[in-house]
A = this chain, B = another copy of it.
Amino acid sequence: LKHRIVRNVPSLDPAIAAGLRAVGVATAHEAQGRSGLMDAVLRPVVPEAEVAGRAITVLVPAGDNWMIQAAVELCVPGDVLVVATISPCTDGMIGEMLAVSLRARGVVGVVIDAGCRDVRALRRMGFPIWSRAISAQGTVKASPGSINVPVVCAGVRVHPGDAVIADDDGVVVVPRAEAAAVLAASQARVAREDMLREKFARGEPSPSFEASRERLAATGIVWIDREEGDD
């Protein structure tokens, strides 16, 4: 199992990326059958950020960000850097300097199952990172890892070239081959939610709940009226 750096990641149609960014994490997650959602421990450092792009994957040893440095030159505009660690780590593996370099390459955001730092600078730059921790702890550049190999990041398998969507709800991965279909299903879902939102705002009941009333009664649940003196 040699460590390796892989070039020539398949590209992701920018229109699909833009579409996935617009529908957002929760909708795309539903639209692809509730799979691909990273662990909720990853939180956005820059509030209200919303990104979607092609995954460039990095696998790093705990406490070592050498491979993140090495990954910079493999990125092109629209990419999302996805950093997984070989073992658990909360060190601040990425900060302002790397963010400036990544932005210069057109990277739209970073998802890292470890820590980040320089968060005030990141917020000023508006360079979004989703991380497990905020920590000023620096890291070494001593041991190799891999770039653009399939990784597991925050509980989700990510292949280089997959679509990654991240916003205030978290991070979801859409396999490249399914990105177009997931976008279409997401947009259908958005349309339905637009319609429902209006109904719900008027106080109308949920059609799906109405349809389930019989099934609910069949569970044996009972409706009772509270009496005076009940607990």
Contact = CB atoms under 8 A, between A and B. Distances in A.
Q: Number of copies of this chain in the oligomer?
A: 6
A118 B200 contact: no
Contact of A209 (B7, B69, B120, B221): B69
A33 B137 CA distance: 11
Interface string A177-220: 00000000000000001001100111101101100100010011
B5 A118 contact: no
Contacts of A123: 168
Given A37-B136, A63-B64, 17 more contacts: A3-B221, A5-B221, A5-B222, A8-B226, A26-B117, A26-B118, A37-B87, A40-B137, A62-B91, A66-B212, A87-B137, A97-B196, A97-B206, A104-B202, A120-B167, A120-B169, A142-B142
Interface of A: 1-10, 24-26, 29-30, 32-35, 37, 39-40, 43, 48, 50, 61-64, 66, 69-70, 72-73, 86-92, 95-97, 100-101, 103-105, 115, 117-120, 123, 133-138, 140-144, 146, 148, 150, 152, 155-157, 159-160, 167-170, 172, 193, 196-197, 200-203, 205-206, 208-209, 212, 216, 219-226, 231
